[in-house]
Structure formats: C-alpha cells, structure tokens
Amino acid sequence: ETGVTQSPTHLIKTRGQQVTLRCSSQSGHNTVSWYQQALGQGPQFIFQYYREEENGRGNFPPRFSGLQFPNYSSELNVNALELDDSALYLCASSSGTGMVYGYTFGSGTRLTVV
Amino acid sequence: AQRVTQPEKLLSVFKGAPVELKCNYSYSGSPELFWYVQYSRQRLQLLLRHISRESIKGFTADLNKGETSFHLKKPFAQEEDSAMYYCALRGSGGYNKLIFGAGTRLAVHP
C-alpha cells in the first residue's frame, strides 16, 4: 500500500508566475484535499476534490484552482503568484466524505515566491 | 465562527513528567475533533480522534463540551514524544475540511 506522494518537494517561483503542484493519493482513497501551511501556523484548508469534482472550498481566491483525475490523483494550480503564497502546500487523501479514519498527508511541496 | 485555539506555542517538560497540550474549539453542534502529530522530518499523521476514545502511544484526549476543550494528555512523557502537535476540528459542510490550530511544540528533555 502506498502513501500520499507530492511533487515537486521544493519550488522557487517569481511573483506573477503560475505554478502546478501534484499529488498522488493513497491507494483506495478517492478524496483529495489541499492545505496551505504558512510558517508557524497550522494547515489551512484550500479545497477538496471527490470523484473529480470540487465539493468544498476554503477562504482562498479563484486563482487557486485544482483538478482531480480518474485515478484520484490531483493538481493544485496557483495563478498570478504573490509573495504571501510562499508556504508549504500539503495534500491529504481520505476515503469517501467521512473522516472516520482521518487523513493521510503527503510530505508537502515547499513553495517560495520571490 | 469555527475555530481551534492552541494557546501554547511551546511546552517544555522533563522525561517522566505529565504532559497536557491544550486545545479549545468554537463550533455549533456536535464537533469531531482530532489530534495530529508531526515528528521531526516526518509527515503530519493522525494521533487520535475523539470518537474512538482510544489511547495511542499513551496519549488520551477527552472532549469536554462544557469547556469546549479537547486537551491531549500523557501521564509520563518520553523523549520520543518530542514533536509538533496540532488539534483539528472537522468543519461543517459535509466534506472533509479540517480546521487546525496553530500547533504546540512539545520538547521532552532527558
């Protein structure tokens, strides 16, 4: 059984650019959620995908968008990068829409915007 | 508003001492609460959830609805317990949104 894998592990982008982060969910999991973790803070919910559709979104602007593919892997896209987007981006997978077993988290992608 | 508060950024104890990591929440209705842990150079992982009323690695947490708290406790701390601990609340909306606190770093000294 594989866990959640994220790529790349680190990324440096320039303000105004666009970035795509990738996530492969744990085997058997069909729900993927994305979180942003700024330095010294807890993770903040960006959105969730279930069966290839976004079914929940946190307080993030539309320039944060995502996709989920038939194999349940997912992408997070951020357009028009701002300096404040510098953070650790975490992907988490779970089974269905219940939280009985909690999330399985990936190791994250560290994004630095300069 | 739905919110999780962890008032301590750092908790420093000696090995063998009792540990209590505080967590308070704000939520209307019946909350689902979790504790996640992140050991050095490892990913965030579930430690325990209140609905299972389990003890994991000697840690327990009891939901106190009157005080809106979900404190994490262990009677005798071990050095390997040193980690970052996050309390989390499942948000409303019927999907798997977790609202995390800012986290508490537990440092257990020999």
Q: What is the predicted pLDDT for the residue at B28? A: 87
Mean pLDDT confidence for B51-67: 88
Encode pLDDT of B70-94 as tens digits. Answer: 999 999 999 999 999 999 998 877 6
- Kindly determine whether residue B95 and residue A97, on different chains, have CB atoms separated by under 8 Å: yes
Which tokens belong to A30? Answer: 């069909």
**Residue in A48, A90, A106 nearest the CB of B97:** A48
Higher pLDDT among residues B20 and B54, named by residue:
B20
Cβ-based neighbour number of residue A27 at 10 Å: 12
Which tokens belong to A44? Answer: 């903040």
Q: Which residues of B touch A9 (CB under 8 A)?
A: none
Query: Which of A45-59, A67-81, B46-60 has the highest mean predicted lDDT (pLDDT)?
Result: A67-81
Contact B80, B40 (CB under 8 A): no
CA distances from B87 to A27, A36, A43, A52, B84 (A): 26, 16, 11, 29, 10
Question: A81 to chain B, minimum CA–CA distance in Å?
Answer: 24
- Kindly determine whether residue A102 and residue B49, on different chains, have CB atoms separated by under 8 Å: yes
- Kindly determine whether residue A105 and residue B43, on different chains, have CB atoms separated by under 8 Å: yes
Q: Which residues of B touch A48 (CB under 8 A)?
A: 95-97
